[in-house]
Amino acid sequence: MKSLLKLFGWPIISGLLLAALTIILFPQYFSSSPAIFLTRPQQQEAASYANAVEIAAPSVVSIYTARRTAPSAHPLLQDPFFRHYSNNSNSSRQQRIERSLGSGVIVQKDGYILTNHHVIKGADQILVSLLDGRESLAVVVGSDPDTDLAVLKIELPSLTPIRFGQAEQSRVGDVVLALGNPFGFGHTVTQGIISATGRYGLALNTYENYIQTDADINPGNSGGALIDVYGRLIGINSAIWSNDGDSQGIGLAIPADIAHNVMREIIANGQVVRGWLGIEVQERSAALAKSSEGIIISAIYRNSPAARAGLLPGDIISKIDDRPLITGRMGMTQVASLKPGQVINVEVIRKGKASSFELSVGKRPTKLD
């Protein structure tokens, strides 16, 4: 027995000692943690918006307009003596044709198209060109200068209407694409982000609530589509903010929800019917804004609902039908949403005293003098 221990004991002990020493010196080889495999990172695919463009592009049209204008007559042509001895009797009757271009968006498969009012203003002839090469003359269904929107109608089969998105859910930083006909180049796509929302006070239109984008919007893009990455319409491209008329990274689009409401009114009534009180308002100073609510009446139109009710310049309108007014923009929007003939209660602060007036809402005139 002892001889066996001598024979096998020392090798066994040496093996155990070597194993223990190995575990102490190289513990990583005996860890119970899962193995880590290093793999080459997968290359990220480049972002593409081709699917969005493919969805929306057939709904975006190019618009070409022509307008006859009479040239300004030379002062000599107004002189009877000169006309008697000259052979220019027909000069003052000669006309020239002014041509311009823009874009539009097909909104219904039966041929209704949304565009800007300024694109078709004063046009004698309007030609619409589709992505597939088809062309058609268009008629004006109605126009709304207060929002710079207009609706056209064409008679062509198999039209592709745009899908409307929800502009109110758009966020600053969202990627957007502008589709249109810049400089008459034909269908063109530019890309950017939403830079801001709710832009107003730019003195471009009566009612302003613009989406601001840095996607290039150039002359000819007006009336075209601003879409999201899913090909849905979120705005109608309308203007650029520039010192020289060129794009400088500030484009403005009318939100799709506003455009849709105006479109429905025009298709139904040929115009947008808005409520009107006959007042001009001004924003309150910072000090007044902290101390009270309301908008200040700066002027009142003659024979208007406000004039007939007895409102005066300097009055502060604090509420309409118990709804507080904070800003002039809010007040204009609230009044515009009222129906002509509707009777409302207006709460006014005059020289520190609160008063209440009952008004019958009028219809906003097309032109205000």
- Give me the active site residues, please: 118, 148, 222
Q: Half-sphere exposure (CA, 13 Å, Cβ side) for 240?
A: 20
Q: What SS3 class is residue 81?
A: helix
Task: Please answer whether residues 212 and 252 qualify as being in contact, where contact means their C-beta atoms are separated by less than 8 angstroms.
Answer: yes
Q: Which helix (H) or strand (E) holds 64?
A: strand 60-69
Q: Is 322 left (phi over 0), alpha (psi -120 to 50) or beta?
A: left
Q: 55: which 2 tokens?
A: 């969805």
Give the rounded distance of the alpha carbon of 274 from its chain centre.
20
Give the rounded distance of the alpha carbon of 167 from its chain centre.
8
Q: Which residues contact 310 (CB under 8 A, 6 or more apart)?
A: 357
> Of 94, 99, 165, 154, which Cα lies nearest the Cα of 129?
154
